[in-house]
Structure 1
């Protein structure tokens, strides 16, 4: 954890950059940050996450990006809890990019990804709040001239024990500002004393989001700003051969056409701009019309022959071959040689697009120092890094302000679109907003990795699974940084494959195959857990059917009841990637997975006799340290597929905002339904074939599951917080596929499921 020091109000203005943000008005800074106009008074600001003015208004800093997951509510709740602040008198301020100040756990670089914001902030934010509370109590004690232990804080007031004296926080703000931050953290509140943690609170931005007042990337307007769109190479690593902008420049409102250099041959793609031809003008309509009139000849480069159809077949062929063994338990080879009954199945998941509701947009003024960036980014410091590289500057010469994100799912952690704006702003000598369209987003994005998998299982005479084999072939997101990477990395295998939580299976062999990555593959909500959960849960359903057992009974048997599953060299696992965390703090606990599975089966009515054409499918998965199970009820008739009911149970350990967890699970069902029924990116001659929502489908109200029941399982709520934003997605698709089989007897082993 970083050192915590008391800072003056002037230092606060300097370190937060609030003065610069106020140039934009009250869009990015709460109006009450310096409430009451008492600019000659001292703010009490014991650290960069808490400040209190003389009117008692508490401003809490959020250093993670809000993209609909509720982080601007949940993390400040931790501060407010130990501070004893009245939530009605709290305002939230969004921190700019600066990991030296705004990443006190020292783990995340201020990135918002991996469903880790709450689990990494839980302890440190409470400590910061508790120290600030103690300082307020000390200030009140000084004012009353009594020992500090005679004072306690409660709901924004300070009370003197054994008397009726009390003071508002604001009344001691100036006194508290003179004190030193305690070196030792005071005793934190016990769960029974919590006012906010574990309770339901509305999203702080909810009103603005639903009334159009929320500020997203494209909403920022600067004096003299120019608008730009970019015609990018249709094929990854393509280049401009030549172009003619004559007709584009004739469009009213188009002012300039500028070439952005292509990706350098000797640099990995990472988060760099793709290059292309930018059309710049006064409004989005003009520049989009101008772009249509560009005459460009492209050199499609090394991936011009990339066809997803042939690539998919190559993956499937490789999955049938022996891969690289990443885990072996017992003697699976011997078990398969001696088996009297072996079941085998192949599964496939295609490339997927993030398809966020807000397409990427970024505003950059590269003509000031520091360079000023406003963007809906998950990674403000990597934004600074790549913008600095684009402009030939140091990272410290770039300032990044984070707007609200209109969805992200991993896409806006890759900030190629910001680099485009930086390059153009410097070329023009003016601030620029680069705006992507839906077509840009779908055709030039970073895609979720496709995968092909082969699974085999041995069934003994009693219908027990005695051996499990799984081989996965999938391109790697690590190719963004190392183009030579072939096949999944250790990190990607750790996303639901290496950590297969089947403690009840005596013989396990897991393998991965190698394949090149001819497209920009990037992390996506739940990442490789999606394909691993789909194959694993679908295959268990097949094994259960073959052995004439219920899927619930077989899954519970496979999972077992172990409280800690150890992955080490005894099973050939040299190093297991555990979401970047220690297994001591976040162990793999199969018993928790079994628990949520049993809960969702009970709640959904699984096992009851269903009407013809109707069935319930089960699936469960551990990801981001959380345990989630899903039961989908599917009905298939002449009208097609409907989903009468979905039950989803989550054990995420200690949670902060119960309502927020429920919303994330409901959203995961909708997102999972898109993956299961609609999502598919294909390529021909190297170019993505899909364009917009008419050919890249999303779940719509007409087919989205509406009757969703979320069950918050609290049996392990005393344990550390786990992830919430992503874990609800992986089990949905296999639960739906299993439900369709239960209803119709038809097995679907490839996504999306077509009926």
Structure 2
């Protein structure tokens, strides 16, 4: 490993390494399922946490080290991008261990397969690692208890642990006093550990302050763009303006004349599909980022723009909409009952196309990565959501083994799924090898928006009927969007897991259903964005529900509750239902919980109270990432301009670890969803993204933010997703509220394309 380091990043010294592999005597391989293995000294980055005066740390398992002064080091193997995971997961482990939170230090794990998945997306960090972290904490606690029992000559059953203290009722000892003895104990059988009862939790379910807050507040946090390495040069890259374009010629004379510019390097692109490969481009290398960017402006390049150069979003939207009417390219997904017969008998019939455009991630910090290549090894620092994918991509790009790549994870200034695609990390690694010196690649905001892995544009055609009693009698759906799979291989049809996100797993009690998907070719890099296909599906389903309620002349709340039918567990309509990677027996889709969040959010919003003239309320519910979320929007309409006054949300996500961070996630989701509903849109012309910054790709600003209210349902079952589920119901709630206020019914987002907002 290189000796280079960045501010507040340290590595195990020789003495720590010897102790980690010697006296600790135990280790853990985290996989699925958990298994015991020989001890390993896993390199770690110290990003933040309380400083310890002790040099010597003893490894108790893969996630826990104990210092001779009693300081507990806990590894967080997931990426911190504002969601609070570097507090949440250690919080779980510390609670089960019986540690004093004030004596805990959080360590950032590097890319390492021993940790299991490090892919920080899919709202699964707590969901997938809540139990493993509890077991790691319980294992460390048991090693301390065993040490105390042997020291005092008593049964281990007599030893209690709480807040860094062990006691047998007569004597007590601190973690510091027992550290050396505990480190010599064998790792206990993880399957036989007794975990704490909920009533005994000290931290789980409590609003623990974020461990990173001091660094954030003081401006000391190291993000990807902040990394500084000795003798480092800076790169700004001009990439093909069209996906799949190839460079014909380079005239770099004027670029090289810019003060500070050192060199111009070509980055050889890979043939499509794009995957996570670095894009074809020309990098201007300079002594600082500004010089690199100015030199880049002076490049004179010629491109062969390839097959995607004619792609225009306006024409593409028409192709998507027209695809619903064609038998060619139609793939039947699910059929039940007789939809046509039900439509013929309907008291009310609603049909519409619900459209969500291309969307960009637009995280606060654009992608940034730094790299060193020497003697067949590469070391990178990056704001990555997926260090293991970055490790593999760098290795593949350089033609070396993943074991020869070290990936340090910095803080992320937002991610939303963009930074789980490590193309920008590969760029830094390739340039470091070509130049033979440390390189930092910094993307501009224009780079970020124009070369994003865009959220798929989606056109969903829905048609549904209601009888005189207000019951939905038939539901017909057709989905058209380019699949994420197209980024990785031939794919002209969406994957099953994409359609599992609201298209066929809607919860309504409908006897007649017919669903189809369309074959659609992609022309851009398509990727996952916060909530993925749940966004367009929730918009379509939630909007249609608002229209059906109005057509049946029913209160929207009562219509939603009625349409959910009897309390039951929803059965998948397809055999291959992914259920977000979890067994449906463990995470059932319960309509009783759906009704509960709807009723609670309406109560909080004072749904049944008298309403002011020109003020409308809109309701939407959606189930995603195993969590139930309901949203009520309050919108004022003066006949010309809508004003979003308030958003209310309720989430049922099972056991919540840190309610303060969950509340923040939900508040952020409301803003994110508001941007999608009101403002955001990526358009293309001649294969190129037309927007380049926030003047074109508009987001919700502070003065445009509504009042936000959120409630978290207290639950005792396993944790469910949190980071993403708050987003999908926002847009349909807003358009339903606008229509309820007397405004137009919007079926094609964003609202700003139809009204002045």
Which TM-score band applies after superposition, normalised by the shorter structure? over 0.9
The Cα offsets for residues 398-455 of structure 1, whole Å up to 9 and x where unpaired, read as 1111111100000000011111111100000011100000000000110001111111
Instruction: Compute the displacement of 1:561 (Å).
Output: 3.3
Distance 1:607 1:314 in 2: 43
* More off after superposition, 427-436 vs 327-336: 327-336
- Aligned pair count? 720
- Which residue pairs with 1:106 in the alignment? none
- Which residue pairs with 1:55 in the alignment? 69
Tell me if structure 2 keeps the 8 A contact 1:156–1:169.
yes
- Which residue pairs with 2:740 in the alignment? 742
- Which residue pairs with 2:565 in the alignment? 560
1:730 aligns with 2:728: yes
Instruction: Compute the displacement of 1:275 (Å).
Output: 1.4
Tell me if structure 1 keeps the 8 A contact 2:243–2:525.
yes
Distance 1:556 1:321, change over 3 A: farther
1:720 aligns with 2:728: no
Distance 2:634 2:48 in 1: 46
Distance 1:284 1:608 in 2: 57
The Cα offsets for residues 182-202 of structure 1, whole Å up to 9 and x where unpaired, read as 125321111111111111111
- Which residue pairs with 1:690 in the alignment? 691
- Which residue pairs with 1:168 in the alignment? 174
Instruction: Compute the displacement of 1:352 (Å).
Output: 0.3
- Which residue pairs with 2:556 in the alignment? 551
**SS of match in other structure, 1:579:** helix
**SS of match in other structure, 1:420:** helix
Tell me if structure 2 keeps the 8 A contact 1:498–1:576.
no
Tell me if structure 1 keeps the 8 A contact 2:54–2:67.
no
Tell me if structure 2 keeps the 8 A contact 1:6–1:47.
no
Instruction: Compute the displacement of 1:167 (Å).
Output: 1.1
- Which residue pairs with 1:574 in the alignment? 575
- Which residue pairs with 1:603 in the alignment? 604
Distance 2:324 2:270 in 1: 32
Instruction: Compute the displacement of 1:562 (Å).
Output: 2.9
**SS of match in other structure, 1:247:** helix
Tell me if structure 1 keeps the 8 A contact 2:679–2:699.
yes
Distance 2:643 2:217 in 1: 29
Instruction: Compute the displacement of 1:469 (Å).
Output: 0.8
Q: 1:490 aligns with which of 486, 492, 496?
A: 496
In structure 2, the gaps of 5 or more residues are 1-18, 28-38
Instruction: Compute the displacement of 1:9 (Å).
Output: 6.4
Distance 1:49 1:84 in 2: 15
Distance 1:220 1:31 in 2: 21
* More off after superposition, 142-151 vs 173-182: 142-151
Distance 1:677 1:657 in 2: 30
1:329 aligns with 2:336: yes
**SS of match in other structure, 2:530:** coil
Q: 1:157 aligns with which of 165, 168, 174?
A: 165
**SS of match in other structure, 1:455:** strand
Distance 1:745 1:223, change over 3 A: closer
Query: How well do the aligned residues superpose, as a CA RMSD in angstroms?
Result: 1.8
- Which residue pairs with 1:439 in the alignment? 446
The Cα offsets for residues 142-198 of structure 1, whole Å up to 9 and x where unpaired, read as 22222222221111111122x2x2111011100111111112532111111111111
Instruction: Compute the displacement of 1:29 (Å).
Output: 6.3
Equivalent residues in 2 for 1:360-371, closer than 5 Å: 360-368=367-375, 370-371=377-378
The Cα offsets for residues 720-754 of structure 1, whole Å up to 9 and x where unpaired, read as 11000000000000100011111124111111112
The Cα offsets for residues 86-132 of structure 1, whole Å up to 9 and x where unpaired, read as 11111100000112x112xxxxx211110001011111111111111
Q: 1:300 aligns with which of 305, 309, 314?
A: 305
Distance 1:639 1:157, change over 3 A: farther
Distance 2:583 2:158 in 1: 40
Equivalent residues in 2 for 1:26-425, closer than 5 Å: 28=47, 30=49, 32=51, 35-39=52-56, 43-99=57-113, 101-103=114-116, 109-161=117-169, 163=170, 165-184=171-190, 185-264=192-271, 267-321=272-326, 323-339=330-346, 341-368=348-375, 370-425=377-432
Distance 1:10 1:268, change over 3 A: farther
Tell me if structure 2 keeps the 8 A contact 1:369–1:398.
no
Tell me if structure 2 keeps the 8 A contact 1:151–1:160.
yes
The Cα offsets for residues 688-736 of structure 1, whole Å up to 9 and x where unpaired, read as 000100111010011112x21111122xx12211000000000000100
1:708 aligns with 2:708: yes
| Runs of 4+ in structure 1 over 6 Å off | 9-14
1:674 aligns with 2:669: no
Tell me if structure 1 keeps the 8 A contact 2:21–2:41.
no
Q: Please report the TM-score for the alignment, with normalisation by the length of structure 1.
A: 0.93
Distance 2:354 2:323 in 1: 13
In structure 1, the gaps of 5 or more residues are 104-108
